[in-house]
Structure 1
Amino acid sequence: MSNSQQQDPSGSPLEELHRIDSMNNPLDLEESKQADRPGAATGDPHGRLELEYLPWGGETPEGQPLCRVLATCGWVELEYAIMRRGCGMLDQPNRGTIVLSGADRQDLLESMVTQGLSGLSTTSARTSFLTDRKGRVQADLLIAAMEDSILIDVDINQADLVTTILSDHVFTEDVEVRNATSDWYRIGLHGPEAESLLGSFGETPESRLDAASLDIGGIAALAVRRDQVAAPGFDLFLSRSEVRTAWETIRSIGSTRGIRARTVGWYAFNAARIEGGTPFFNIDFASTNLPHESSLIESRVSFTKGCYPGQEIVARMQHLGAPKQALRGLRIHADALPVAGTQVFAAEDETLAEQVGVITSSTISPLSGAAPIAIAMLKKRVVETGSKVRIHAEGIACEAVVCDLDSLVSIGEQS
């Protein structure tokens, strides 16, 4: 059985807190100096910061945005710097939560997703795709276990779809599938001091996809380590009704311990996750793509588990061929930044007659000396590391070199 509960389109339960913070907490002068460099985002370090929000995803039946995310607190450069020097706190109203309960919950999910769930526990999470019978990705999932239920984190745009797909496969099994987005909430902690700050509330997950139960001033939370921004990072599952208190407690403990913890918006997080080589569903790949095209096979797909919808197609691709296209990183040798949707051409194609790909995400990378980098969906002929391609950005013809997603920013360049 299922119970679909749509996200309240009014937005984050933290919006009022963000507004108060912007009024009462002007930028620290020393921090603002650290963020002051050519090309830096601007703001007013002596007064109130202007909050900016972005609509996320589709619309409700009433024509309102499904949700809106905090884009910036007013100084993107400082928010980015916090994730590189301290702990950035990310509000995530764009994440949906599906809860599976009942004795057969794990068996049902195992039969539906691409990842094996053996060993799933309260201390070990999984990432996985949900695919259709043609092997195409329907959703990108983070799967975490509680003592008596399974939590699925998913883009809010796919929450109802995933709930319906899973519910439609419940027959006589003891499973309840519920869209619990209105009950559960997600916040992220990212940066070199995130682990230390989180350690104030319990045992910290040590490795990627490790999980731990925390007590944040009497509020229960489940933390899963993600490391999405080329720095330690954690997603916290919390009760929506308690998230404001938890947020304030985390900030307060950080201040007491001398840990720089600050709210960061989507603009800064997006730049950092591109540097981290982290593709996002609905941005870099979508429901038209096969798992292999996402370049996330190793972390999302098991080739030794039992059947699931689309398994035969995914397995055939793994053993008998290669995808026609795949996500790769691009290091751009120019001072121009291509926007998402920019066409990519073969380096030798001066006529720009044959498109070999498209930019899906891009940013100026502080970790690369303010050089532009990008994630792109590229055709098979140019996906090899070291391949050269040509793009046009800001009216300039640019050369770019293809690299693996996890080497967009090399270790030697990181500060």
Structure 2
Amino acid sequence: MTDLRGKCTTSTVGEDDLETQYRLARSSAGVTFEPTRGRLRFTGKDVIPFLHRMLTNDIQRLAPGQGCYAALLAPNGRMISDMRVIRGAEAVFLDTPASTATELKAKLEQFLFREDVHVSDLTGAVALLGLHGPAAASFVARLTTIGQETLDALCEHGSAVAQFNGVPVQIVMSRITGAHGFDLCVDAGAGAALHGELLRLGCVCLSPQIFKVMRIEAGIPLFPDDMDNDTIPLEAGIEDRAISQTKGCYPGQEIVARVLHRGGGRLARKLVGIVIEGGSAPAAHALLQRDHNDIGRITSAAYSPGLGRIVALGYVRWESRAPGTEVEVHDEGEARHGVVAALPFLDAADPSEAS
């Protein structure tokens, strides 16, 4: 079972046995309950051109059942929020951090004039369960009316609708942990039952700590942990996933284009991976130094059972971004050695790397 705050109350693996959770998730499948996600629903005949005009990615190319990763930027090129865009048969959904859903809805509605666009905030009305690992498709197929072949054919952010005990489930392909996984969106009242059935079938309940480890290993920054309202998407390295360089204008596009085409992609700082020696994972915002000079901050860090070391994401000055660059991590009065590493840390598509 899962309570509505997302904490596992029963499971075949105890929450304290983090390494076992990790091994099972990387070899089979693990489930998270994510009540912290925001969700906006858009309807109306002008939704696609409106979102295409406002967001960083190419929304017009999406057919029903397809999706993409995108962001809404302020005029200065800084991020208001990232999001997953899901085009359904009759509506478009934006999955967002819960902390940005209200602001995102208000910002987008400011740009509505005579367009036929209607926005509903579904945050709190739906439950979002994430299923991650190589056996994820098998678990989803056993619990819902969808076939595994259909699941295997979904591209990242692609979606399909099935039934669980007569309740509609929107199934969205996700690679947030680096592996082929799925997010299951259901009515909030059905979330606990769906979660309980997944555990009964042998899916391991993932603690927030292990989900964080898997996300960091995959090199995926999270808003607002690793990106916030001071972040330009290029700094976070999400441009290949979130930004179309062939579409027309959108808020903040001039700043993005200036960096890419006039500045050669050079920025003041860049999000990188960092491998850290010894001790426990440093806190967020731990200081990074090189040759006694401040060069950046840690944003997320965790111990990786798969790699046997502490891995982190953090921002460093442009000239310190190269893999192999040695840094000092200062946390709670202690200085520890770290090395900048290429992302992702681990290819979750290759089970041997997590064994």
Relative to the length of structure 1, the TM-score reads 0.77
Distance 2:63 2:16 in 1: 40
Higher relative CO (Cα under 8 Å, sequence separation at least 6) belongs to 2
Q: Which moved more, 1:357-366 or 1:78-87?
A: 78-87
Which amino acid in structure 2 is aligned with residue 362 of structure 1?
A: A
The equivalent of 1:414 in structure 2 is: 354
2:3 is matched with which residue: 15, 39, 42? 15
Larger radius of gyration: 1
Structure 1 residue 277 displacement after superposition? 1.1
What are the superposed Cα offsets for residues 173-231 of structure 1, whole Å, 9 maximum, x if unpaired?
A: 11101212133221100122112212333121543223222222322112221122232
Partner secondary structure for residue 15 of structure 1: coil
The answer on 1:217 being equivalent to 2:165 is yes
Paired residue for 1:122, among 48, 64, 70? Answer: 64
Q: Encode CA deviations 1:344-392: one digit per residue, 9 max, x unaligned.
A: 111xx1xx2x101111111111111x21111111111101222222223
SS of corresponding position for 1:392? strand
RMSD: 2.4
**SS of structure 2 residue aligned to 1:204:** helix
Say which of 338, 352, 355 aligns to 1:400. 338
Q: Give the 3-state SS of the residue equivalent to 2:151 in structure 1.
A: coil
Name 1:197's counterpart in structure 2.
Answer: 139
**2:50 is equivalent to residue 108 of structure 1:** yes
Check conservation: 1:122, 1:213, Cα contact below 8 A.
no
Q: Aligned partners of 2:115 and 2:245: how far apart in 1?
A: 25
Secondary structure (helix, strand or coil) at the match of 1:361 reads strand
Deviations 1:252-289 (A, max 9, x none): 4xx2xxxx312222112111111111110110110111
Q: Is the 8 A contact 1:219 1:246 kept in 2?
A: no
Q: Which amino acid aligns with 2:354?
A: Q
Could you tell me which residue of structure 1 aligns to residue 101 of structure 2? 159
CA contact (8 A) 2:65 2:89 kept: no
TM-score, structure 2 as length reference: 0.89
Separation (CA, whole Å) in 2 of partners of 1:76 and 1:16: 22
Deviation by residue 1:152-174 (Cα, 9 ceiling, x = unmatched):
10011101001101111111111
Given candidates 212, 220, 225, the residue that maps to 1:270 is 212
Question: How far does the alpha carbon of each residue in 1:5-56 deviate from its partner, in whole angstroms, 9 at most, with x for none?
Answer: xxxxxxxx9417978943xx5x56xxxxxxxxxxxxxxxxxxxx6xxxxxxx
Equivalent in 386, 389, 392 of residue 327 of structure 2:
389
Name the CA shift for 1:215/1:286 in 2 (closer, same or farther; >3 Å): same
Provide closer, same or farther for how the CA distance between residues 367 and 230 of structure 1 changes in structure 2, counting only shifts above 3 A. farther
Alignment partners' CA distance in 1, 2:28 and 2:225:
27
Question: Are 1:356 and 2:304 an aligned pair?
Answer: no
Aligned to 1:231: 179
Which of 170, 176, 181 lines up with 2:112 in the alignment?
170
Q: Partner residue of 2:195?
A: 247
Give the direction of change, closer, same or farther, for the CA distance of 1:291–1:304 in structure 2 (3 Å limit): same
Separation in structure 1 between the aligned mates of residue 211 and residue 8 of structure 2, nearest angstrom: 21
- Work out whether residues 330 and 376 of structure 1, in 8 Å CA contact, stay in contact via their aligned partners in 2: yes
SS at match of 1:128: strand
Q: Is the 8 A contact 1:97 1:185 kept in 2?
A: no
1:110 to 1:272, Cα distance in 2 relative to 1, 3 A = same
8 A contact 1:294–1:326 mirrored in 2? yes
The residue identity in structure 1 corresponding to 2:313 is I
Which of 344, 350, 356 is 2:288 aligned to? Answer: 344
Q: 1-side partners of 2:171 and 2:42: how far apart?
A: 18
Identity of aligned residues (%): 27
Pair 1:393–1:413, CA change in 2 (3 A): farther
**CA shift digits 1:107-161 (9 cap, x unpaired):** 1111110001133233221100110111110001001011111111001110100
Q: Is it true that 1:288 corresponds to 2:230 in the alignment? A: yes
1:359-370 map, 5 Å: 359-368=298-307, 370=308
Partner of 2:19: 77
**Paired residue secondary structure (2:306):** helix
Distance 1:135 1:394, change over 3 A: closer
Q: Which moved more, 1:75-84 or 1:147-156?
A: 75-84
| Aligned-partner SS, 2:108 | helix
Once residues 393 and 118 of structure 1 are traced to their aligned partners in structure 2, the CA distance between those partners, rounded to angstroms, is 46
> Structure 1: which 5+ residue stretches go unaligned?
1-12, 29-48, 50-72
Q: Is the 8 A contact 2:6 2:34 kept in 1?
A: no
